[in-house]
Amino acid sequence: MLLEDVEALKKKIKALIAFRVIFATLLLGSFYLSSGYSKLPSAFALSYLIISLYVVTIVYSLLLVRVKRLVLFAYTQLVLDVIFEIILIYITGGIESWFSFTLILTVISSSIVLNKRAGYFIATLSSILYGVLVNLQFYNVLPLTIGEIIEEKNYLSNIFVHTIAFYLTAYLSGYLSSRLEKTVKKLEEKVMDLRDLEYFNREVIEGLPSGLFTTDLSGKVLTFNRAAERITGVKKESLIGRRIDSVLPYFKIPFSEGRTEGTIMVDGVQKIVGLGVSPFRGIDESTKGFIGIFQDLTQLKRLEAEMKQKEKWAAIGELSSNIAHEIRNPLASLKGSIEMLKEDSIPKNHKERLMEIALNEMERLNRIITDFLTYSRPTPPECKKFDLHGLLDDAIELLKNVEQNNRNNISIQKNYNDIIEINADPQKMRQVFWNLGINAIEAMIEGGELIITTKNTGGFIEISFKDSGTGIAAKDIEKIFYPFFTTKEQGTGLGLAIAYRIVEEHNGIIRVDSRTGNGTIFNIMLPVTDEKA
């Protein structure tokens, strides 16, 4: 048996003992006072019975604390009750006694204190003992105390009626008490649920690390958790029942949808707060009020700003070291050439060669610096409408010249679709096409083919440069648009960085698709704009 059940049974047995003694006192007391007593043939017997009942009650009470086998204890009491009652019935006239109803009370008690089965057991015991008593009277083994003659069929029907009554009582009381038990169990579960809910409310909502408030439809505060108090520095007591913005102006009513950020002043210190408010609905789906959840973002924002600052410094540092590196190389060869030129003894043709190297290096330095300035100090684009294909043709002409003067093993194809007029800065666009074209040529040392395709897809103008060159290694592809990223000995790594920047200035996108050995395709998408230049 569970501990709770033991406690419950103990309580029931206590009630049984109390009920018995109170009932006996009242019933028998009133019987003494009434006229019935004087008619009794054995008044002493009744007195003995009552005294022993009290004695038994005292014994029961003493035993209750000590007894371990409570069910057996209860059975013993109930059986003894039946015996007491049979004696009582016998004393008060047997078949004529109206105390036979006390047996019914014991049947009911047994159903309540124990269970249905005990009810039937006591009903059976009562029927047998009552039957025996009445039969003994019928056969005159026990004397009929109140001398009248009773007919045989009265004896039988009396026994019959009593037996039926006992069993019916056992059935009904058993049914009711089991129903009652179930209901009590259910009720207890409900109470547990409620307690859980209360716990949830208190611990979870109060323990939430975010500030939480709820208001009714007019913005009057219903709940305000601990974190909310901590963040705002406002005590719950000073808010409950008042409009939230009367104390905390940041929480403006009506609440704005989605997440918002703002600042609040807490003890003279500014705090950044992120707030999300959503309506809460009742069971009937109608809006009942609002739930707001907010966080103190001050620390986070500070960290974020610090991170950004750090990233910026890191990028600047990297860029600076790249520039230094790019400039130092040509400077070193310049220095070398000039130092050698200082010697008087070197032959004339050697001198000329050194001069040429020095000039070339200066040229290269100049180019790096110009490119870098183009990249780092972009001028705003001066847009105008022009024919895209005309501009591309010019660029291709220049590329061809360069190529033919070099190795002359590359063919450049045009694949123009539609007539395309774009609104852009032609100077800058020329730069983009030049950078992409030169890269393509440089990637096709063994010769190959560059196809330039244009398309107007409605929303966008697409320009692609597809070459059959070396392709780009997967590990490099993310870096090719970074300034100073180059895989070429003489490269500056600024061509694509500049192209990227210019396309971005035109609100376009530049993408690359390439694999080592498979050629490369650069795709530029420029939005079609209607504005006049």
Binding site for ligand ADP (CB under 6 A): 435, 439-440, 443, 467, 469-472, 480, 485-488, 491-497, 520
DSSP for residue 96: G
Q: Which two tokens stand for residue 526?
A: 């420029």
Closest contact distance (angstroms) between CB of 285 and ligand ADP is: 60
d(CA 382, CA 392): 18
Q: Which does 81 bind (CB under 5 to 8 A by kind): Mg ion, ligand ADP, none?
A: none
Closest contact distance (angstroms) between CB of 488 and ligand ADP is: 4
Closest contact distance (angstroms) between CB of 393 and ligand ADP is: 20
Q: Could you tell me the sign of the dihedral formed by the alpha carbons of 479, 483, 489, 490, in that order?
A: positive
Closest contact distance (angstroms) between CB of 357 and Mg ion is: 23
Strand pairing of 448-456 and 410-415? parallel
Determine, following the binding rule CB under 5 A, whether residue 174 of this chain makes contact with Mg ion.
no
Q: Between the CA of residue 376 and those of 159, 424, 490, what are the distances in Å? A: 117, 20, 21
Determine, following the binding rule CB under 5 A, whether residue 137 of this chain makes contact with Mg ion.
no
Closest contact distance (angstroms) between CB of 377 and Mg ion is: 20
**Which C-beta is closer to Mg ion: that of 469 or that of 495?**
495
Q: Which does 470 bind (CB under 5 to 8 A by kind): Mg ion, ligand ADP, none?
A: ligand ADP
Closest contact distance (angstroms) between CB of 483 and ligand ADP is: 8
Determine, following the binding rule CB under 5 A, whether residue 470 of this chain makes contact with Mg ion.
no
Using CB atoms, what's the residue nearest to ligand ADP? Answer: 495
- Residue by residue, what is the 3-state secondary structure of 147-205? CCCCCHHHHHHHHHHHHHHHHHHHHHHHHHHHHHHHHHHHHHHHHHHHHHHHHHHHHHH
Residue type, 230: R
Examine residue 249 and say whether the peptide bond preceding it is cis (omega within 30 degrees of 0).
no
Q: Please give the radius of gyration of the chain, using alpha carbons only, rounded to the nearest integer.
A: 53
Residue-by-residue DSSP string for 130-141: HHHHHHHHHTTS
Closest contact distance (angstroms) between CB of 450 and ligand ADP is: 9
Q: Which two tokens stand for residue 369?
A: 């610096």
Q: Which does 493 bind (CB under 5 to 8 A by kind): Mg ion, ligand ADP, none?
A: ligand ADP
Binding-residue pattern over the window 421 to 440 for Mg ion, x denoting contact by CB under 5 A: ------------------x-
Q: Between the CA of residue 42 and those of 29, 55, 158, what are the distances in Å? A: 16, 21, 24
Question: To the nearest 10°, the Cα dihedral for 425, 430, 435, 441?
Answer: 160
**Which C-beta is closer to ligand ADP: that of 111 or that of 439?**
439
Which of residues 330, 437, 483, 495 is near Mg ion by CB under 5 A?
Answer: 495
**Which C-beta is closer to ligand ADP: that of 106 or that of 486?**
486
CB atoms within 10 A of CB 27: 14
**Which C-beta is closer to ligand ADP: that of 19 or that of 481?**
481
Q: Which does 472 bind (CB under 5 to 8 A by kind): ligand ADP, Mg ion, none?
A: ligand ADP
Closest contact distance (angstroms) between CB of 498 and Mg ion is: 9
Q: Which does 100 bind (CB under 5 to 8 A by kind): Mg ion, ligand ADP, none?
A: none
Answer yes or no: are the C-beta atoms of 277 and 292 closer than 8 Å.
yes
Which residues of the chain form contacts with Mg ion (CB under 5 A)?
Answer: 439, 495
